[in-house]
Every structure is written in structure tokens, then in C-alpha cells.
Structure 1
Amino acid sequence: MSKIRTPPSRKSDLLPRGEEGGSRLYQQLARKLFDQLVSGQYAVGDRLPPERDLAIDNGVSRPTVREAIIALEVQGLVEVRVGSGAYVVRIPGQSDRPGFHVTAFELTEARLAVEGEAAALAAAQISDAEADELDRLVRQIARENQRQGDADEADRAFHMLIARATRNAALIDMIEKLWEMRASSPDTRLLLSKARSAKVQPVVEEHQAVAEAIRSRDPARARSAMRMHLAAVLDHLLFATEEAAVEEARKAARSTRARFSATGLN
């Protein structure tokens, strides 16, 4: 009979009393796993506990676990094998310290807060020519998606045009820096690469809804459309690894069929 796992009743096993305002939960979990590696709890080649078990045992969400594993993966401590789990590839020394960068989840949360308000302000300020340019960029996003590459020039241009339409230099600078962080953070680049491998692309319909809301000159509608778009981005990132696993299984099945076809056994 399998053991029934009971979720912890407290908020998180990772938060000592009085430290709720400290580092992010994923960093605390990454440090805990880091210390377990240093202490010899795992050896090279061992598989870490499944994501679901780590989430339950530590009283955190699955996105938190995923961010912690990505932080260790970026540092070359674990390797995530699609459909199998995270395996230890290197044991850190006592003097090593885990390093952290902004994650894709943190970045998207910040964009949701900032760009939602930017869209509302842009709706009250945008010119007809700029609204026409937003529509053109939506069409360009669709073309880039058809090429199935990892280019996001049109996506970035779309969001930066909205930033400029706010006529607010501080907002323009903030949003530009968020996009620069998206390109420079190793943690963020890794998860975005996984998302691209899982065929996760900018959703044309979401961008079209944002463009239409801004053209309507309705700030509340524009804010809602942008927040819905970026909330969906969070969902896409969360399920990127699961979708990648499905695609990997399909590739394996196609390869097996090809081998049998070549030997005349099918």
C-alpha cells in the first residue's frame, strides 16, 4: 500500500520564524538542496525527489520547486532530463555559494504589475499612427511564430511601443530594463529556452486583444487585457517542461516507428 502524503499545515517548512520578509522561497529551497548536496545526502547520478514530493514536503508551490531546480541547473549542479527528473551531476564544495539571478517567474510578475499600468496609460495617450503600428507588430509576431524560431523582436517591439505611448520616461526606462533582464539572466534564459523547445510562442490573439483595447482608448480595458496576457505567460512558463516532455515522448515514438519500418517489422 502506498503511503499517503499529507501536505504540511504551515505556510512553508522553509521559513524560520521572523524571516518571512527575507529571500524568495525558491532561493530558500535551492539553498536547502544545495546544503544537502554538500552534506553528501545525494551522490553524482542520484535523482532528486519528484517535483510534487518536494513541493509537499517543503510546503511550497510547484513553480517554486521549478525555480529552485533551475537555479541549481544553471550552476551545473543538476541536469533535468525530460520526462525523468533532475539528476545530480556535480557536488559543490563547502566553500561554494549558490548564486541567484532573476527568474522568469519573478520577471513576468514584475511585468504584470508594471506593464498593466503602462497599457492603461498608453490607452489614454496613444496616437492613431502608434495604434496602427501595434496592429502591424501583431501581424509580425504571427509571421515570426510561423518560422518557429526563438526570435522575439516583434514581441519586444510591441511592448516597448506601448511603453513609449505612455509618454512617461520612467515607465519607458523600467520596461526596457525588464526586457534587458529577460535577455541577461541565465535562469530566465534557461526557462524561456525550455518553453521554446515545448513550442510555447507569443500568443497572437492575446497581443491582438491588448492592441484592440488600447485602440479603444479605454484604460481599464487595456489594463485588463495586458494583465490577462501576462498572467497567461506565467501559465505557459509553468507548463513548459510538461509540454516538452510530451514532445520528447512523441519524438521517441516516431523514432521507434522509423526503426521498425526500416527493418520491415511494422
Structure 2
Amino acid sequence: MNVAIEPKNLSGGRLYQRVAEQLAAVIAEGEYPPGSRLPAERKLAERFDVSRPTVREAIIALELAGCVEVRGGSGVYVSAESNNNLSSAEFAVGPFDILEARILVEGEAAELAAKRITDEELVEVRAALEAMVQENEQEPICEKADQNFHMLIARATKNEAVASACAHLWALRNSSPVSARILEKVRQSGSRPRIEEHLLILDALERRDPEGARDAMREHLSRVIQQLLDATEAEAVEEARRKIAFNRERFGISK
């Protein structure tokens, strides 16, 4: 499954940063006064001519800056004492961009690793997968075993540049406040690293199947993108359910 992030038209700076800045500007101009609810994600995506994931990243950046408040099951509201705090905010690379890069880099890394991985390294990768199973049962989940699994594969390429690129992408993932907030939403929704997807990657490596390893890695990371999309859409889904339940009760409609 390939989850595409469509091309964007804004330029200059990170895209979600540009959207956040423009949205903060219209809030400051009074278009959306304190306490008011922002338009639906789809409407904002149309207004700024960007993808919905980019709008989600922008909203989370505004939330971290204290400009808006995300209320589960209700929507996004302008903070009562909203001011433009974005000038002091740090705009790291967004999580969807990071995942797109990981699909490219780690997919090829898995293909190369399948050609070069040793039996000893395969034992280490399987041990990391077993640690991931145990880690998934813990609260809070830290995902160290997940990162170790991916980095063991990157190092199995025997290519320092590839391993360094993978390590850099993981560092971006772990240091980005916007990425951390979205990952928090994912974990709150009950999602965990999917063991079966990692097992497919390992199986391809053990068969020394380069194409299979690459495809399994790309499929896994594409599904991670979908996890992020699903988790960050949870508030909108919950709101829709609430409205449906209200209307059913209002008009006496049974389920």
C-alpha cells in the first residue's frame, strides 16, 4: 500500500511552517477571533492548496505555540489569549516528510542489506524483533527496539553513508516537536509498532530476497503513514459520530 503525499504549491521554508504562519496571520487579523472554531481540515487544505497531512502538521505547530487548542470530539479553537508565538517556535521537519524519506532510504537499505547481511546480523535483527514484542506490552511505550531493528538493517548494508542517512532520519523523527505530538496521538489511539510487518521484512532478509525486503520495508513504512493519518483524524471522526448520535436522538431514529 502506497500512501502518497501530494505535491504542494507553497514555497519558502518548510511547507507546514508556511501554512502555520499564514493561518496565524489571519487569526491575528481577526478573521478567527479568540474562542472561535477553525474551519474543517478539508476547507483549510483547499484554502491553502496543500494536502490534509500538511494542514495537520500546521495545526499541531500552532497548538504547540499556544495559538490554538485541539479539543477531542469538537474541533480546533483559537486560544482565548491567542497571540502569534510562532516567531519563537522551532519548525523541525514534519513527520510525513520524514516518513516519505524513510520509505526511499530504508527501502533501498533493506534491498542492499538482503544481499550483504550475515547470519550473525540476522540473529541480532530477530532479537530486536523479539524485544519489540515485549516492548509493545509496556506502558509507556518507548520504541527503542523498533529503532534498533531498523538501524541493524541499515548497518547490515555495510555502507556507512546509508547507515548515517537512516540514523539522521531517526534523529529527526525523535527531535521534532510536531512529530512527537503526532506520535503521541498515535499511541493514545492504541497503535503500536506492527510486529507482523517487521516479521515480513525479516523473513525477506533471511531468504536473501532483495526485492522482497525492499517491498516489505516500503509497505511497512507506508502503513505507518496511514497510522499517522488515522490517528490525527480521530478527532474529526469522533465529532462526526457525535453529530450522528445527536441527530438520531433528535429525530428518534434507531440504529
The TM-score bracket by the shorter chain reads 0.7 to 0.9
* Contact 1:79 1:87 (8 Å CA) reproduced: yes
Match of 1:54 in 2: 44
* Contact 1:38 1:94 (8 Å CA) reproduced: no
Distance 1:70 1:108 in 2: 17
Moved more, 174-183 or 204-213: 174-183
- Alpha carbons of 1:95 and 1:222: their partners in 2 closer, same or farther (altered >3 Å)? closer
* Paired residue secondary structure (1:147): coil
Q: Which has the higher contact order (CA 8 A, sep 6+)?
A: 2
* Paired residue secondary structure (1:80): strand
Gaps of 5+ in 1: 1-10, 251-266
- Alpha carbons of 1:123 and 1:50: their partners in 2 closer, same or farther (altered >3 Å)? same
Match of 1:3 in 2: none
Match of 1:70 in 2: 60
| Among candidates 156, 166, 169, match of residue 160 of structure 2 | 169
Moved more, 234-243 or 184-193: 234-243
Moved more, 62-71 or 200-209: 62-71
Gaps of 5+ in 2: 1-6, 242-255
User: Quick one: which amino acid aligns to residue 213 of structure 2?
Assistant: A
* Contact 1:210 1:222 (8 Å CA) reproduced: yes
Identity of aligned residues (%): 48
Residues 199-243 of structure 1, C-alpha deviations (whole Å, 9 max, x = no match): 111000110001111111121111111011100000000111334
Distance 1:106 1:222 in 2: 22
CA positional deviation for 1:25: 3.7
Output aligned runs, 1:113-152, within 5 Å: 113-152=104-143
Distance 2:67 2:46 in 1: 23
Match of 1:209 in 2: 200
* Contact 1:119 1:219 (8 Å CA) reproduced: yes
Residues 113-136 of structure 1, C-alpha deviations (whole Å, 9 max, x = no match): 111111111101101111122122
TM-score (norm 2): 0.83
TM-score (norm 1): 0.80
- Alpha carbons of 1:98 and 1:40: their partners in 2 closer, same or farther (altered >3 Å)? farther
* Contact 2:45 2:55 (8 Å CA) reproduced: yes
User: Quick one: which amino acid aligns to residue 174 of structure 2?
Assistant: A
Determine which structure has more spread, i.e. the larger CA radius of gyration.
1
Q: State yes or no: 1:242 paired with 2:233.
A: yes
Distance 2:226 2:203 in 1: 23
How many matched pairs?
234
Q: State yes or no: 1:28 paired with 2:18.
A: yes
Match of 1:178 in 2: 169
| Among candidates 154, 159, 168, match of residue 145 of structure 2 | 154
